[in-house]
Structure 1
């Protein structure tokens, strides 16, 4: 069995840096959750040892890095190309990582991958490892097994997060039948892929009236552009007569990364197949 105490040991450095954000630097707890979720997600994406490196820095520099992470988060809220300064807007983060590919444009071009990745880290890591720190810095009393109320949640991009205060001996993941989960846990923040919903990987396509686009043309176009395994399914407009032209479709992809490749930061992308235009945007479910 993996206990909360063991999780705290594994995430010792993450907890130390988070504590500095919300106590020494007195940064907003809800925003700090998102900031450290961004850093953990970047480590998962291959920007290794980011938090370990910053744990050795001064409080002033950690504060600068947090502000840069917030700037990256702000890029996710707009469809407009960010106003990137000459230093990329993530200058100190890129210096710390010794990477030239880290800038505000990284978040712009990987918008949907970042949103889903940060959301997963927020709910599967941050919601578990800071449950003792948050009530202290927020000055509230929360009983065991009760959720901690967090301002700014539900968040417009990342939704809600349930952070429940647990006893230190609380068991998070049982070993029996959960070998894969244990490997993922101790390789944190590698997260279960099934946390990704179908809607997260779905594009909404529209077609020009008078130019019939078939299901095979849609699948053929996007497999040619993004690989044979890029497309999971194509669902054409339903409930129309056999001789009517579909005007829209849902394109279900196998990877959230392909969504970002298709849009490349834009709200709408335009494609062409056999002389016919296809417009693509991120699918958003509308419950009636």
Structure 2
């Protein structure tokens, strides 16, 4: 060792954290989440990744936007467990998606038991990593101004650097039968109508449910109501965690959700969450 010190420029630092920036951009720009809160969400995920939950950020980035949003909601719940300013409630929701993605035994109790060290380390990650590498995106998010030149280059760099092993992960999360739209002109009002008739259902880890069970649940309530049903494609020994259902009429979704964004219901004793589609 010759004792030589090397200086990393801010641009090099941002490039190194390209995947983290890409995920933060999805949270702030595409999902319209609070930019400041998302700094802590990213810090929590980075803390998990540095604690042995390898490739956690890359795995999240490979997911559909609606699942990333659900994971962010779970991250907020986890943050409440480690932050004394937001006391943990015994009525807090489970974190089934985080548990599934981590491929390890992780629960809210995991964060409760580590809340003292986790709080300090997450704060340090916010100050030392998230703010310097993502502050430009946060600034644009706070003012609602995103530009092609200021965001797309880092994102492209991040995605191109994703390890080839993630290709299998992306493939396994592809929704069965969710093919690309045919070539040609598609009317915008038809696409809007389909979005209004689309609902996502997520399933708790450890409580597998079949497509037939979900179909029968809704058809018993509303009769012939489903236009198409796409269950997450997984390996034979894995459990599907979500499904996308397109109903014949948007009124079916309004009846299921009761006029709110999310709803919980039980199919054969198994708890499920339903939410309306969004882009």
Point out the structure with the larger helix share: 2
Q: Please tell me whether Structure 1 or Structure 2 has the larger radius of gyration of its CA atoms.
A: 1
TM bucket normalised to smaller: 0.3 to 0.5
TM-score normalised by length of structure 1: 0.45
TM-score normalised by length of structure 2: 0.46
